[in-house]
Amino acid sequence: MIEKINELKSDIQNASISNENELEEFRLEFLSRNGRVQKMFGLMGSVPNEKKAEVGKAMNEVKNLAQATFDGAKNSLHKSEEKTFSATQDISLPVQPTYTGSFHPLTRALHQIKEIFLRLGFNIADGPELEDDFHNFTALNFPPDHPARDMQDTFFVRKSDDPNQQDHVLRTHTSPVQIRLMKDKEPPIRSIMPGRVYRNEAVTAKSYFQFNQVEGLYVDESVTMGELIETLVMFAKLMYGSDVKYRVRPSYFPFTEPSIEMDVWWDNDKGGQWLEILGAGMVDPNVLEAVDVDSEKYTGFAFGMGVDRIALLRYGIDDIRTLYENDIRFLRQFTS
C-alpha cells in the first residue's frame, strides 16, 4: 500500500504543467472525483486496522501535495499570462504623457542672475527675513520720519503686547544684508544677496505682499561709479542679450549718493516700453560710518533688483500672483 502511495507521490512531483491544458489534465488525473487521489482513499477499507493511522497520514500528505502543486501551477500560469498580455500591447500607440518636475520661473530667473554675478566675481551671501529697525532702516540712512517706515509699507512685528514696541519688521528689501555683511567682514566685499522681502501692499496683478530681490554690494578702496555702470551694463547684456536697449537715470535712495536707476526696453504688442529693472548707487558715507567702515579709505557701490519682474518679463507672465499660488497647471507650462 505504502508503495502505491509513494508511486502516486512521485507521479505528482514529476508532472509538468506549462499551460492551461496541462493544468486541467493534472486536475482530472489527480484531484477530480474519479482521480487517483480519491481512488487511493477508496482503498482505505482494505488496510489492516493497525496500519490505518500510518497509511491515512501518508495519503493525506499526498493529497495536500497534489492540491499545492495544482495551486502553485495555476498561480504562475496566470502571472505569465499577464506578462504575455502586456508584451502584445500595441507598442505603436502614443504614450500617456508623464510630467517631469520643472523649475519654478522665479528659481530659474534667480539661477540666471546668480550665474552672471558669480562670473563677474561676486559671491553669495544671506540674511534673515525678520529684521530689526536698525538693519532695515536706520543704518541705511533712512531719516526717522521717512515715509517708507509708514505702516502702509512695512509689516511690523511686535515682540510683546506693548503697542509701542515695534522694533522688528519683515524686511522690506534685501539692503539690510549689506549692513550685516559690512559689520561682519572687512573690505574688500563683493557679494550678491538674494532673498524674499515683504511689503504691506494691496494684492493686484502687478503687486504682491511678498516678492524677491537680489542685492549687490562691492566695497573696496577706490570703487567708482564707472565700475558700477559697467557692471550693470554687463549684467543687462548677459541677462537680456547683447543687443539689449538700456538707459541709466538719476534717482534717489537714502542709502546711496549719487543714486541711479536702470531701465531696459521691453518690446510688446503695444509698441514696447521702458521697464525699470534695478536701483543702484554709490554707498552713502553715512551708511559706511554706521557700520564702522572708514569712509575716507573705502568706497562702494550697491544695487538692488526685483527677481519677480525679471521672471514675469522673461516668461511673458502678466499676473504676479500666479508666481505664488502654486497652481500645478501654471507650473507645468515651464517644464523644459
Smallest separation, CB 330 to ligand DAH (Å): 26
Q: What angle do CA 171, 175, 177 make, to 5 degrees?
A: 85
User: Nearer to ligand DAH by C-beta: 105 or 279?
Assistant: 279
Closer residue to ligand DAH in complex, CB, 55/277? 277
The pairing of beta strand 256-266 with beta strand 130-132: unpaired
Pick between residue 8 and residue 192 the one whose CB is nearest to ligand DAH: 192
Report the residue number, 37 or 193, with the smaller CB distance to ligand DAH. Answer: 193
Shortest spacing between CB 145 and ligand DAH, in angstroms: 19
Q: How far is the CB of 185 from ligand DAH (least distance, A)?
A: 17
- Cβ of residue 122: shortest distance to ligand DAH, in angstroms? 13
Q: How far is the CB of 239 from ligand DAH (least distance, A)?
A: 17
Q: How far is the CB of 115 from ligand DAH (least distance, A)?
A: 20
Strands 123-124 and 210-220: unpaired
Kindly tell me which of 58 and 197 has the beta carbon lying closer to ligand DAH. Answer: 197
Per CB under 6 A, residues contacting ligand DAH are 173, 175, 215, 253, 256, 279-281, 302-304
Taking alpha carbons only, the member of 216, 259, 213 closest to residue 235 is: 216
Q: Please report how many Cα atoms fall inside a 13 Å half-sphere around the Cα of residue 181, on the Cβ side.
A: 25
Residue 214 Cα distances to 25, 107, 125, 211, 220, angstroms: 78, 12, 10, 11, 20
Minimum CB separation of residue 103 from ligand DAH in Å reads 25
Alpha carbon distance 185, 180 (integer Å): 9
Choose between 239 and 302: whose C-beta lies nearer to ligand DAH.
Answer: 302
| DSSP conformation class of 172 | S
Which residue from 68, 81, 71, 66 is spatially nearest to 35, judged by alpha carbons? 66
Q: Which is nearer to ligand DAH, 30 or 301 (CB)?
A: 301
Residues pairing with 247 in the sheet: 263
* DSSP secondary structure letters along 185-219: SPSPEEEEEEEEEE------SS--SEEEEEEEEEE
For residue 252, CA distances in Å to 136, 193, 219, 255, 280 come to 17, 21, 20, 9, 9
